[in-house]
Structure formats: C-alpha cells, structure tokens
Homo-oligomer: A and B are copies of this chain.
C-alpha cells in the first residue's frame, strides 16, 4: 500500500556520553522514511531542504525506493539544523541550537504521484502544516498517524487540537501525554486524549517501552534491554516508521495488527539507538529485523498454564 511521510529533513549535531558528531543528516522524515522503507515501497516523502543538504543521503533514499519528488529544495537557503546534548541517563537532553531556516515558512507540496495514498505519517512539525497536508490530499487516507511534541503544546495548543481531531493514531511520549491531559495516570490521560479525536493512542516511554490504547483495550511493548543506548536521536521517529510501514505492508488497521506494528516499531527503534544518527538504519537485512522481533517475543513470552 502507498505511504506518504511528512516531516523535517535536517542536520543534527549531537553530543552523547559516548562522543559527539559534526553535522549529520537527521530530521523526522529522514528517520521515518528509512525505517518504513524496510516494509513498503515506495515511501513518498514530503519535506523541504536547503541547497546545503547532503546529496549522498538523497542518493541513499533513492536506493531504498524512497521518493523525494515531494521534497522541495531551496537552493539559496539552509536546511533545518538542531544541536543537542544528552545526559548520562539518555532520557533527558538539552537543546543547544535550533535554526529553523527552510522550515520557517514550509508550505508542503503534494506531487500528483502521491495522491491516492492510503497511509499517511505526519512526522513532528507545526500542527497547521500537518493539517495542510491532510487538506491537500484529494482523498482522505485510510489511516493517518500523527507524531508531535511538547513544543507545540506550549505554543500552538489550539492548532494542535484541531489537527489531532483529524487523525486516527496519535503518537506522543509519557510526559507529553501528561501535559496534554493534565493527568499523571497514563490510563486516565489516554482516555482524555482519545476523547480529543484519535481512536488510537501510542504513549512512548523510551527505555520503558510503549503503550497502545484503543477504547478500553491496552497493549504494552517493552523496549529491548540493551547494553548501551549509544544515541537516542530519532528513536521515536524510527518507531513511527516501523509502525506505519508494517501496517501499510499488511494493509490491516485492526487492533491486533497494530499490536504487531508496535513491536515492529520497537524493533526498528532498538536498532536506531545502537549507533549515531541514521547509521544503523542504512543497511538492515530482513533477517536482522525478524531476529530482533523474535527477541521481543522471547522477552515477554511466558507459558500461560495457570495453576
């Protein structure tokens, strides 16, 4: 099934306890499209970059059957840039620099070849831009998944709520769920947030896994216990890419299918954090992915013979 991915394509400069990078390729659409490309082809990206963007990376995307027809190139401008430093626990970070550049006035263009897509992944962006993308599709996709962050809750809550009401699945982290709902209990938070529109809610808890809510049902996927989390940048986007990629590949949006999609998303995220940036996502094999999924099965599976 056809998939459209919207989000930033950017440069990141990262510092973790394990080292630091110069400007490397990052951005939500970068991670989402790479991750989903292991499940569905083509992946159609809507984004914007400056003339400084890395052409080798564009070539890698094409090699993985990721279409960049919807990626605007503003030759005389610079790509979005983010710089951040992670603390020892890898769960907290500080932003050192944010330069919006081309993202400041991003007006998304949907190529004709993307029309009719059945799966739409709205990566983290201004909610009014996410909404514009939905409105510029001639037909409403079968499934719309939206990622966002606390920043938009702080400065654009009304627009965020308007866009949220138009999507099927919302993906946020635990702190964002608490902020958006005003409830500490994630079970209560989930009820309030689903009442705002999305029928499905994913709450990401980083190293503590992810919860999937739908009506009164809840599913939990752990994160894989790893020796080292080398660089958590992009883990949430990689999760989202695996999640929607899996759903698009089997074209089944039932709760049972979404459970498996959460596991595939978690498996993809567990690769992402093993190296800096997108490094680990460039060359995975189908076998590596299936083995990783099997590790999730082994991690939580127990014989349910009761006494």
Find residues 212-241 in chain A having any chain B CB closer than 8 Å to their own CB.
218-222, 225-229
Given contacts A208-B208, A222-B222, are A227 and B304 in contact (CB under 8 A)? no
Do the beta carbons of A185 and B227 come within 8 Å of each other? yes
CB–CB B220/A307 < 8 A: no
In the assembled complex, the Cα of A294 lies from the Cα of B273 at a distance in Å of 33
Please determine whether B303 and A256 come into contact, CB atoms closer than 8 angstroms: yes
CA distance A208 to B225 in the complex (A): 13
- Contact digits for A15-41, partner B, Cβ 8 Å, 1 yes 0 no: 000000000000000000000000100
List of 5 A-B pairs having minimum Cβ-Cβ separation, nearest first = A208-B208, A259-B302, A300-B300, A220-B222, A187-B227
A184 touches B260 (CB 8 A): no
* Further contacts, 12 of them, CB under 8 A, given A209-B209, A293-B306: A185-B227, A187-B225, A208-B209, A218-B225, A219-B300, A220-B299, A246-B307, A249-B307, A256-B303, A259-B302, A263-B302, A300-B300
A89 at interface by CB-CB < 8 Å: yes
- Does B225 lie within 8 Å of A186, measured CB to CB? yes
Q: A156 contacts the other chain (Cβ, under 8 Å)?
A: no
Q: Considering the complex, which residues of chain A in the window 169-217 have a beta carbon less than 8 Å from any beta carbon of chain B? A: 184-188, 205, 208-209, 211
In the docked arrangement, what's the CA distance between A39 and B307, Å? 10
* A279 interface contact, C-beta 8 A: no
- Of the candidates B211, B225, B226, the one whose C-beta lies within 8 Å of that of A220 is B225
Interface centre among A256, A259, A305, A307 (most CB of B within 10 A): A307
Q: Which of B184, B205, B220, B299 contacts A219 (CB 8 A)?
A: B299
Which residues in chain A, 96-112, are within 8 Å of chain B measured between CB atoms? Answer: none
The distance in angstroms between the C-alpha atoms of A260 and B306, with both chains bound, is: 9
- A216 CB, min distance to chain B CBs, angstroms: 11
Assess whether A89 is in contact with B184, with CB atoms less than 8 Å apart.
yes
**A28 → B minimal CB distance (Å):** 25
> Which of B88, B225, B302 is within 8 Å of A211, CB to CB?
B225
Given A208-B205, A249-B307, the answer on whether A219 and B302 have CB atoms closer than 8 Å is yes
The docked-state distance in angstroms from the alpha carbon of A187 to that of B222 is 14
The answer to whether A228 touches B259 (Cβ under 8 A) is no
Q: Is the CB of A303 within 8 A of B225?
A: no
Minimum distance in angstroms from A232 CB to a CB of chain B: 13
Does B307 contact A250, Cβ atoms closer than 8 Å? yes
Question: Which residue of B has the minimal Cβ distance to A89?
Answer: B184
Q: Are B187 and A226 in contact (CB under 8 A)?
A: yes
A290 at the interface (CB under 8 A from B): yes
